[in-house]
Amino acid sequence: MKIGSLFFSALLYLTNVQAEDCVYSHSDVGTLFSDVQEQADIQPVGVMVRVIGGKYCMGDIADNGEPDEKPVHLEQVSDFWLARYEVTRGQFRKFAASTGYVSDAERVDSTEAGCLTVDPEKWTFKYREEYFWDAPGFKQADTHPVVCISYEDALAFISWTKQETGLPFRLPTEAEWEYVARAGTQSIYPWGELASESCDSANVADQSAWPGYSKSPFGRIACNDGYSFTAPVGQYEVNPHGVFDISGNVWEWTSDCWAKSYLPDKKQEDCGLRVFRGSSWMNSEKSLRAANRSKNGPTDRLNTVGFRLALEQIPVGSDKYEAESP
């Protein structure tokens, strides 16, 4: 099976998906929650948690989304491992220092150097050549998620982790990402039906977003999450699967090519565009929905986009890394 293509996943498309079809199921209910979940600390990647696979309804269940979130369909996800946290600036710094890697934002031969960001005076997106992962246009610490990262930058980091660990790290698929984000729910948002409840669970465009400006490009949510821009990873409520920041903070690249719908028609698939999920510190209600998808070119980079790692399995009995219960 080709990892990273939605159309090679185990999908079951139905003309009429009923509510009862969307009841969450997986192989072992007792291992869903993080307090009994296997985890492994693998350096330089960090903690990976084991996600028990299962079946769920993927897509715009609430029927309030975009055409590319349809049709709602049953999706079967196999067991896999997912990073507990988004890749941090400190981790990316170690990679860049170790390899001499130059990110797409830093390349002088790039058509548009720098990182795409919002111009707060005009509320339009523009590339700023002075912005890159270590200077994204706002203050960060090394515990914050790295941003201004292209899809190709993420793959380069993954290639390094493979060399460092001997493990085949990868990006999660869209289906895996939404499975973890929903965590058995059928609600609009991973935490429920109200965007105003997001600030306990995610770093979003809250009341403190864009300090000094009366407007925010995507609006503001009526709550306060404590951060105007990115937050250190792991600051909000843990997801039932044992991961943090699956929604908000930064968008996360997935391995999938974008397609205009979930219909299994390869002709509509566009690998010139790659999918990222999860929304960010800049986004509000519409983007925070569990079904929401966004896309960009593989060398494009924004100061709202980062990534996290996935892994098929961890070998048992290695002295370099060992899966254990917390």
Task: Give the sign of the dihedral formed by CA 213, CA 217, CA 220, CA 225.
Answer: negative
Q: Which residue has the higher pLDDT, 2 or 265?
A: 265
Asked, for residue 203, whether it belongs to a domain, the answer is yes
pLDDT computed for residue 269 by the predictor: 76
Asked, for residue 317, whether it belongs to a domain, the answer is no
Asked, for residue 322, whether it belongs to a domain, the answer is no
Phi, psi dihedrals of residue 212, rounded to the nearest 5°: 95, -5
Asked, for residue 319, whether it belongs to a domain, the answer is no
Q: Can you give the residue range of the structural domain that contains 191?
A: 6-311
Q: Which of 72-76, 147-151, 215-219, 321-325 has the highest mean pLDDT?
A: 147-151
Q: Express each pLDDT in 60-72 by its tens digit.
A: 998 889 999 999 9
Count of structural domains, the chain? 1
Q: Express each pLDDT in 101-111 by its tens digit.
A: 999 999 877 67
Task: Give the sign of the dihedral formed by CA 122, CA 223, CA 277, CA 11.
Answer: negative
Mean pLDDT on 132-143 = 97
Q: Phi-psi category of 228—alpha, beta or left, where left has phi over 0 and alpha has psi -120 to 50? A: alpha
For the purposes of burial, counting CB atoms within 10 Å of the CB of 141, is it exposed (0-12), middle (13-18) or buried (19 or more)?
A: exposed
| CATH code, domain carrying 269 | 3.90.1580.10
Query: Strand 305-306 to strand 251-259: parallel, antiparallel, or no bridges (unpaired)?
Result: parallel
Asked, for residue 318, whether it belongs to a domain, the answer is no
Asked, for residue 324, whether it belongs to a domain, the answer is no
CA distances from 85 to 7, 110, 195, 257, 309 (A): 27, 30, 22, 23, 9
pTM greater than 0.95: no
Asked, for residue 214, whether it belongs to a domain, the answer is yes
Asked, for residue 320, whether it belongs to a domain, the answer is no
User: What tokens were used for 125?
Assistant: 């997106």
